[in-house]
Structure 1
């Protein structure tokens, strides 16, 4: 998903300067598709770079810690998935992957 989004970002004129993936083979593919971009294994390494924004393309239920860390540094965050899933659709997609429904987080109110 991340490389697909990076490709679309470049198409609309955004400069992709960094990417993160734990899998070395996927990082090699990213290096070929994103020449000049910094590639890292751990997302925390991206916090050392001056980034205007990040696309969070990891598992949706893991977005919050990353978003908080980047937002604390003044970096805009964009999740790769819409949050407005219906209970039936989200539970169904999660059930196919894990065999059990994923709880649906309620909207945060402040």
Structure 2
């Protein structure tokens, strides 16, 4: 029951959550171990996506999408730091590429499947 332009706020809200909230959450959680943080963010992302699917109205859906986006943005920022720290210096570019390949795979396989 929402117009197409209004539904577009779901995309804009998600983008803002990643761009603004993700880095802020990563900074706010810098004292937590990276492993614990990555696991927590993955769990939050998964539960948040399920909650989005069950959202009773547009406002709830928008707020949940923004929260999920914050977890998404923080996860990728922390995952890149961890990946770069796990490999020798000459393999750092490949480590970042492997992390970012998850975005490509999700868009090629996950979006159409969803």
Instruction: Report the TM-score, using the length of structure 2 for normalisation.
Output: 0.22
Instruction: Report the TM-score, using the length of structure 1 for normalisation.
Output: 0.23
Higher helix share: 2
Bigger relative contact order, structure 1 or 2, given CA contacts below 8 A and separation 6+?
Answer: 2
